[in-house]
Amino acid sequence: MSQLHESTTTDRPASGSRDLRLSGLTKEYAAFTAVKSLDLVMPQGSFFALLGPSGCGKTTTLRMVAGLETPTSGAIHLGDTEITYAKPYKRPVNTVFQNYALFPHLNISKNVAFGLERRGVKNVGQQVADMLELVELTSQAHKKPAQMSGGQQQRVALARALINQPEVLLLDEPLGALDLKLRRGMQLELKRIQTEVGLTFVHVTHDQEEAMTMADTIAVMNQGVIEQMGAPNDLYENPKTTFVANFLGQSNLIEAEIQGREGGQVKVRVQGALASIPTERAHSESGKGWLGIRPEKVLIAEAGHPIDAPGDVITGGFITDVSFVGVSTQYMVKMPWGQELMVFEQNTGARRMLPVGTKVDVSWRPEYAFLLDASQDAKAGIEED
Amino acid sequence: MAELERRTLLKGSVGVAALGASAAALKWGFNTPDRKQNPADCQAKDVSATDKRLIFSNWPEYIDEDDKKYVSTLTQFEKDTGIKVDYTADVNDNNEFFAKVANQLGSCSSSKRDLFALTDWMAAKMIQVGWIQKLDASKVPNLHANIIDSLKSPGWDKKREYSAPWQSGLTGIAYNKKKVGEVKSFSELLTRKDLKGRVTLLTEMRDTMGFMLLLEGADPSNFTDAQWQKAMERLKKADGDGQFRAFTGNDYVQDLASGNVLAAEAWSGDIANAGDDNLVWIPPEEGIMIWADNMLIPNLATHKDNAEEWINYYYEPEVGAKLANYNSYICPVKGAQEAMEKVNPENVHNELIFPTEKTLSQTHGFMALDEAKSRTYEGDFSSVTAS
Amino acid sequence: MTSTAGIAPANPHDSAAPAPRGRKLTGYWLILPAALWLGVFFVIPFYSLVSSSLFDPNGSVLTGYNMTWHFANYVDAINDYKGQLWRSIWYAGLATLACLVIGYVLAYAIAFKAGRWKNLMLVLVIAPFFTSFLLRTLSWKLILADDGWVVGFAQTIHLTNLLNFIGLTGTDDRLLATPFAVIAGLTYNFLPFMVLPLYASLEKIDVRLIEASSDLYASPMRGFFKVTFPLSLPGVVAGTLLTFIPAAGDYINATLLGNTNTKMVGNVIQSLFTTQGDYAAAGALSVTLMAIIVGLVLIYVRTSGTEDLV
Ligand SMILES: Nc1ncnc2c1ncn2[C@@H]1O[C@H](COP(=O)(O)OP(=O)(O)OP(=O)(O)O)[C@@H](O)[C@H]1O
Ligand SMILES: [Mg+2]
């Protein structure tokens, strides 16, 4: 291990951090801009997730970082070193490819040893053995990639990149091809390894749950730009755009008229009723807006019955659909103005399940609501499946 | 285990049986038969009188054709005799033609032809193995009366009992006068430094070795094994020195014209027909080899009389002159030179058609070889040409 | 024959389930066309060739040949023609090597760099096949003519001296009628047999593997030798075999472009069969050539280890 640290650490300034910085990074194809003036800082040693729908430019961004694609403009820095135009084989960056890209003619240990050998490291046997042990493939060392299962290949791809102890490890949807169970297992594994070796991981995915369970920081990307970036729960609790609100989990967005600020709150009128939003969660100050509330934050009770821990209340809804999902029940509630709200209720057993047609009132705690600019499309980021 | 052994044993014995069958196939399936025949036993009933036809296989571009007012010799023959001639130009190569007819003639069945023309040595070979019918001397009086002296009695058919030359040619040397100074003798081809690597000789063993024998002072029509050996030595030495570029068939002409080859052992007709003024054919000082393509009547020919009438017709001087005027080869018919006055006065003194007496007196034929000798000599010669 | 083979498997229920014997027979019927093909076009000619290689050498085309297990034919053939045998292997080997180098560059360019010109370039590679082998070879006589510009140019840049130095031409500054011309002719004529399999295997290579290699610190050169080349090995092996085998038996190039001292074993066999009518020697030499080639191929395939490749 010591030898490979030499080659990557020598050019590392003793003091400064080795954050990965993208500034104004842009990639244009003939008639199409895949990545638009991206500014991002991925702190050294963090687990950074790049989340976004298919085609939003995630792979393109990674490829520019890896050096497999030349940016049209902008710069990439690793600490103080600019690597925008460095040759891919000269960057302290390794990639776990979306399709693994294992060398079919080499066996597993040769695949894993590839990077070290190319850098002229001698006697790689021990390191390869250690690395295979880490990914629990010691017994498979002499197999060819084609003789392995998808999950095993994925671990080989990981080992092959990790063994080089790169400053930045890029993971391009490495778990995409795995079944759910294996994926959960690998997620934990990846997270464990990252904590153990302390490298910067840039993990691309379009699975929001994956991003939220694994990452320290998530950047939500849409059509070549970053919509919002932050810790997973911040992003979830306080989305700044309708896209993030819909893409990360689900949201009820209700048309609202902003009345004005009052103390630490912004007051809005929602279809006749009044509601309030804490100012730090209000991303619009006047005119119309979208009042957002997560379905699990909405409380529900039969019309006229008391609601525990009531906040802002709207009455006059009736249930149009009920689905039972074990731990919870999902209701669709048709409101007087015709919109259907989604409500998730824990099956605590405190009350029987409400049947379709029941007249109900809904309520939520004002501190959970958020307010978005009405010029945005309320349906942005809803995944059709 | 026992089961397994029995299986392998079974397989083994199947293998042995297969091998045995293979060996039998090798022995009985693919031998070649003895192809010698006796022409007397392989005669067909001659239907010439009732079926007025004649089937003749000849080399390509070897006969004159009707053209506007010009009546070809063939058309004239058909008019005169009422015999319909099936003329096919399907002889491209002596060996190839041999292979074409070997199965029939070698097993005494009909080759479906009444007449074909082959070069001396192949004609000799076919006569030797009894595939060729004797000509009825009384039916070909012109042949015996008019054949030129130099072609009258080749070693392999001393009295022209079996064969009649269609056309004849001389083998000498040719050079490109634009590229190289005068070449006079065959020995220059073997020794001149300025010709090194730019000389071709012919793959026809009898032509090339004829000259080599002449260089040894031997007579190509009658030489000994010792003389042959010395001639071979000389050829090998020159070849080893890199004097020759290739041994060729007709294809030396292009190389000679393009200047890749400066001098070549060459057939007179090729140079006459090349139409390139820079190419000069000359009779070498050592002598000239003469050859002919000979008309032969194969066993079981059903129109032998008609074939003989054809041969007799082409030995009329005027007919010979007309033919030679067309193809520029040596006319084997005496008196044709006088007849040429009427046909085309320009060609009366064309030495490539009518060589002078002096030239003809220097010509040599090649000794008739029996099958075994022919094999040995061909083998010796190929060891140089195909080494 | 074809109809039986075609119909039998179409009805698996009738024949297969109740009567296993029927299924067994179906299998045999199915291999019948292939077996017939092999029998007619390989086994019988092969037996005939082996048989003639064991003919009594005293026979002749005219008196007939008899198979007498005359194994000495082989000894004679090898003794008499070892020079040409060796030369054939040598020339074919050099031509194969030249084809490999030129063909690899060409196939690589077509597979990875040609873009939309790919199909056109592939057509151009096989375009020479639209004319006859003989004509193509003959045209080289014009190109390499002693007084032509190619030779003139080769002399100016002293290529002729270089070739003479390594023994591929003579001292007299020409290209035609030299070993060089023969090898060049072989290279030219068999190049498509090299390019096409190379192209096929290069084209199959996932460019993402090459990207992966550069991501793993391999410079383009290293990446080529560690990833691209090993992955193209099946094409290399197929191409070298498809080039070497016909080149070793070729006689046209030696006849048209060579001189009297560049004859290959194909020339000898041709001359033995046609002009000399020595079937025994010709047969023995043919079988010997075949055995040598099969032997070399086996060694080659073994050592190149292609059977491990995916
Ligand atoms: N070589 C190219 N030429 C033109 N357009 C391209 C090229 N490569 C990618 N694109 C376009 O750029 C956009 C972003 O592609 P990218 O591969 O980065 O998407 P992604 O976010 O990784 O999607 P996915 O989740 O499906 O992998 C896509 O619309 C794609 O069509
Ligand atoms: Mg992608």
Q: Provide the angle, in degrees to the nearest 10, between the axes of the packed helices B73-81 and B304-314.
A: 130
For ligand 1, say whether the CB of A55 is within 6 Å of any of its atoms: yes
- In this structure, the answer to whether residues B214 and B111 fall within a common structural domain is no
**Predicted interface score ipTM higher than 0.90:** no
DSSP B330: B
B111-B117-B119 Cα angle (round to 5): 120
The pLDDT assigned to A190 comes to 86
Q: Count of CB atoms within 10 A of residue C35's CB?
A: 12
Give the pLDDT mean for A193-203: 88
Distance CA C64, CA C59 (A): 6
C148-C153-C158 Cα angle (round to 5): 130
CATH number, domain of A179, equals 3.40.50.300
Distance CA A306, CA C229 (A): 76
pLDDT category at B12 given cuts 50, 70, 90 is low
| CA distance to partner chain A, nearest, from residue C302 (Å) | 17
For ligand 1, say whether the CB of A29 is within 6 Å of any of its atoms: yes
**Token pair of B243 as six digits:** 């004097």
Q: Which chains touch A (3 or more CB pairs under 8 A)?
A: C
**Position A132 in a domain:** no
From A68, A95, A105, residue closest to C310, measured CB to CB: A105
Residue identified by tokens 């000849």 is B58
Residue of A70, A105, A163 best to disrupt the C interface, most CBs of C under 10 A: A105
**Position B120 in a domain:** yes
Which residue has the least CA distance to atom 5 on ligand 1? A29
**Position B285 in a domain:** yes
C64 to B31: CB separation less than 8 angstroms, yes or no: yes
Distance CA A333, CA A330 (A): 10
Interface of C with A in 191-210 (CB under 8 A): 206, 208-209
* Residue C184 near residue C159 (C-beta atoms within 8 A): no
**Position A116 in a domain:** no
Nearest ligand for residue A51 CA: 1
Interface of A with C in 342-371 (CB under 8 A): none
Distance CA C151, CA C149 (A): 5
**Token pair of B227 as six digits:** 């003389």
Distance CA B327, CA B270 (A): 10
Calculate how far, in angstroms, residue A68's C-alpha sits from the geometric centre of ligand 1. Answer: 14
Q: How many residues does chain A have?
A: 385
Instruction: Report the share of chain B in percent with pLDDT over 70.
Output: 94
* Residue A368 near residue A358 (C-beta atoms within 8 A): no
- pLDDT at B192 > cutoff 70: yes
The pLDDT assigned to C305 comes to 66
For B231-249, b/e burial (b = at least 16 CB within 10 A) is: bbebbeebbeebbbbbbbe
For ligand 1, say whether the CB of A222 is within 6 Å of any of its atoms: no
- In this structure, the answer to whether residues A62 and A188 fall within a common structural domain is yes
- In this structure, the answer to whether residues A60 and A172 fall within a common structural domain is yes
Give the pLDDT mean for A183-207: 87
> Domain boundary residue among A237, A260, A287?
A237
Secondary structure of B256-307 in the HEC alphabet?
HHHCCCCEEEEEHHHHHHHCCCCEEEECCCCCEEEEEEEEECECCCCCHHHH
The pLDDT assigned to B307 comes to 97
**Residue B129 is part of which domain span?**
39-166+292-349
- In this structure, the answer to whether residues B46 and B173 fall within a common structural domain is no
**Token pair of B11 as six digits:** 């397989």
- In this structure, the answer to whether residues A350 and A269 fall within a common structural domain is yes
The pLDDT assigned to A4 comes to 39
Residue identified by tokens 């046609």 is C274
Residue identified by tokens 């292939």 is C34
**Residue A323 is part of which domain span?**
250-373
**Position A124 in a domain:** no
The pLDDT assigned to A124 comes to 93
For ligand 1, say whether the CB of A205 is within 6 Å of any of its atoms: no
Backbone angles phi, psi at C233, to 5 degrees: -55, -40
Q: Count of CB atoms within 10 A of residue B229's CB?
A: 12
- In this structure, the answer to whether residues B344 and B262 fall within a common structural domain is no
Q: Count of CB atoms within 10 A of residue A157's CB?
A: 25
DSSP A53: -
A-C contacts (CB, under 8 Å): 68
Distance CA B264, CA A297 (A): 107
* Residue A101 near residue A78 (C-beta atoms within 8 A): no
**Token pair of A332 as six digits:** 């669709």
DSSP A14: S
Distance CA A147, CA A105 (A): 12
Q: Which chains touch B (3 or more CB pairs under 8 A)?
A: C
Distance CA A353, CA A300 (A): 11
The pLDDT assigned to A3 comes to 40
- In this structure, the answer to whether residues A219 and A257 fall within a common structural domain is no
**Position A256 in a domain:** yes
pLDDT category at A92 given cuts 50, 70, 90 is very high
> Domain boundary residue among A237, A267, A289?
A237
Distance CA B139, CA B143 (A): 9
- In this structure, the answer to whether residues B141 and B227 fall within a common structural domain is no
A118 to C227: CB separation less than 8 angstroms, yes or no: no
Single-letter amino acid, residue B39: P
* Residue A41 near residue A20 (C-beta atoms within 8 A): yes
**Position B210 in a domain:** yes
B183-B187-B192 Cα angle (round to 5): 65
Put residue B82 in one of left, alpha, beta given phi > 0 → left and psi -120 to 50 → alpha: left
**Position A108 in a domain:** no
Backbone angles phi, psi at A378, to 5 degrees: -65, -20
> Which among A32, A33, A35, A202 is the best mutation to test ligand 1's pocket, defined by most ligand atoms within 8 Å of the CB?
A32
**Position A355 in a domain:** yes
- In this structure, the answer to whether residues A262 and A307 fall within a common structural domain is yes
B371 to C47: CB separation less than 8 angstroms, yes or no: no
Supply the mean pLDDT for chain A.
89
Single-letter amino acid, residue B65: E
- In this structure, the answer to whether residues B198 and B285 fall within a common structural domain is yes
From A87, A94, A146, residue closest to C216, measured CB to CB: A94
Distance CA C101, CA C104 (A): 5
The pLDDT assigned to B375 comes to 85
Q: Count of CB atoms within 10 A of residue A300's CB?
A: 22
End-to-end CA distance of chain A: 46
Residue of C46, C51, C82, C175 best to disrupt the B interface, most CBs of B under 10 A: C51
**Position B180 in a domain:** yes
- In this structure, the answer to whether residues B234 and B375 fall within a common structural domain is yes
Query: Collapsing DSSP states into helix, strand and coil, what is residue B247?
Result: strand
For C212, name the nearest residue in chain A, comparing CA atoms only.
A101
Backbone angles phi, psi at B57, to 5 degrees: -105, 125
Distance CA B187, CA A222 (A): 92
Collect all residues of chain C within an 8 Å Cβ-Cβ radius of residue A87: 214, 219
Give the pLDDT mean for B187-215: 93
**Position A103 in a domain:** no
DSSP B40: G
Single-letter amino acid, residue B341: E
- In this structure, the answer to whether residues B185 and B282 fall within a common structural domain is yes
The pLDDT assigned to C22 comes to 58
Give the global pTM.
0.81
For ligand 1, say whether the CB of A35 is within 6 Å of any of its atoms: no
Q: Burial level of A36, CB count in 10 A (0-12/13-18/19+)?
A: middle
A155-A133-A160 Cα angle (round to 5): 40
- pLDDT at A241 > cutoff 80: yes
CATH number, domain of C213, equals 1.10.3720.10
**Position A225 in a domain:** yes
**pLDDT lower than 50: segments of chain C:** 1-19, 308-310
- In this structure, the answer to whether residues B285 and B310 fall within a common structural domain is no
Distance CA A235, CA A239 (A): 5
C67 to B259: CB separation less than 8 angstroms, yes or no: no
- In this structure, the answer to whether residues A218 and A256 fall within a common structural domain is no
- In this structure, the answer to whether residues B124 and B194 fall within a common structural domain is no
- In this structure, the answer to whether residues B127 and B230 fall within a common structural domain is no
The pLDDT assigned to C26 comes to 80
What's the total number of domains in chain B? Answer: 2
Closest CA to A260 of A285, A291, A243, A232: A285
**Position B301 in a domain:** yes
B32 to C67: CB separation less than 8 angstroms, yes or no: no
From C55, C83, C260, residue closest to B247, measured CB to CB: C260
For A115-135, b/e burial (b = at least 16 CB within 10 A) is: bbbbbebeebeebbeebbebb
Distance CA A69, CA A86 (A): 11
The pLDDT assigned to C306 comes to 58
The pLDDT assigned to C148 comes to 84
Residue identified by tokens 């609601």 is A307
CATH number, domain of B196, equals 3.40.190.10
For ligand 1, say whether the CB of A70 is within 6 Å of any of its atoms: no
Query: Collapsing DSSP states into helix, strand and coil, what is residue A315?
Result: strand
DSSP A38: E
Is the CA virtual torsion A88, A90, A95, A99 positive or negative? positive
* Residue C51 near residue B29 (C-beta atoms within 8 A): yes
- In this structure, the answer to whether residues A191 and A339 fall within a common structural domain is no
Distance CA A256, CA A289 (A): 5
**Token pair of B386 as six digits:** 């195909």
- In this structure, the answer to whether residues B51 and B138 fall within a common structural domain is yes
**Token pair of C54 as six digits:** 């064991």
For ligand 1, say whether the CB of A32 is within 6 Å of any of its atoms: yes
**Position C161 in a domain:** yes
The pLDDT assigned to C9 comes to 41
**Token pair of A267 as six digits:** 């007051």
- Residue A32 CA, closest ligand 1 atom number: 5
What's the total number of domains in chain C? Answer: 1
* Residue A332 near residue A320 (C-beta atoms within 8 A): yes
Per residue in C125-168, pLDDT (tens digit) is: 999 889 999 999 988 988 888 888 888 888 888 888 888 888 88
* Residue B131 near residue B37 (C-beta atoms within 8 A): yes
* Residue A80 near residue A21 (C-beta atoms within 8 A): no
Distance CA B380, CA B370 (A): 15
Calculate how far, in angstroms, residue A56's C-alpha sits from the geometric centre of ligand 1. Answer: 7
Q: Burial level of A259, CB count in 10 A (0-12/13-18/19+)?
A: middle
Query: Collapsing DSSP states into helix, strand and coil, what is residue B189?
Result: helix
Higher pLDDT, B65 or B15: B65
What's the total number of domains in chain A? Answer: 2
**Token pair of C217 as six digits:** 């610190």
C211 CB within 8 Å of a chain A CB: yes
- In this structure, the answer to whether residues B263 and B199 fall within a common structural domain is yes
Give the pLDDT mean for A110-132: 94
Calculate how far, in angstroms, residue C213's C-alpha sits from the geometric centre of ligand 1. Answer: 22
Q: Do chains C and B touch (3 or more CB pairs under 8 A)?
A: yes
Closest CA to B38 of B127, B171, B125, B103: B127
- What residues form DSSP beta bridges with A172? A204
Query: Collapsing DSSP states into helix, strand and coil, what is residue C62?
Result: coil
**Residue C125 is part of which domain span?**
87-303
- pLDDT at A191 > cutoff 60: yes
**Position C51 in a domain:** no
Per residue in B291-323, pLDDT (tens digit) is: 999 999 999 999 999 999 999 999 999 999 999
> Which among A22, A56, A222 is the best mutation to test ligand 1's pocket, defined by most ligand atoms within 8 Å of the CB?
A56
Q: What's the Cα-to-Cα distance from B193 to each of A25, B188, B197, C84, rounded to whole Å?
A: 76, 9, 9, 27
CATH number, domain of A254, equals 2.40.50.140
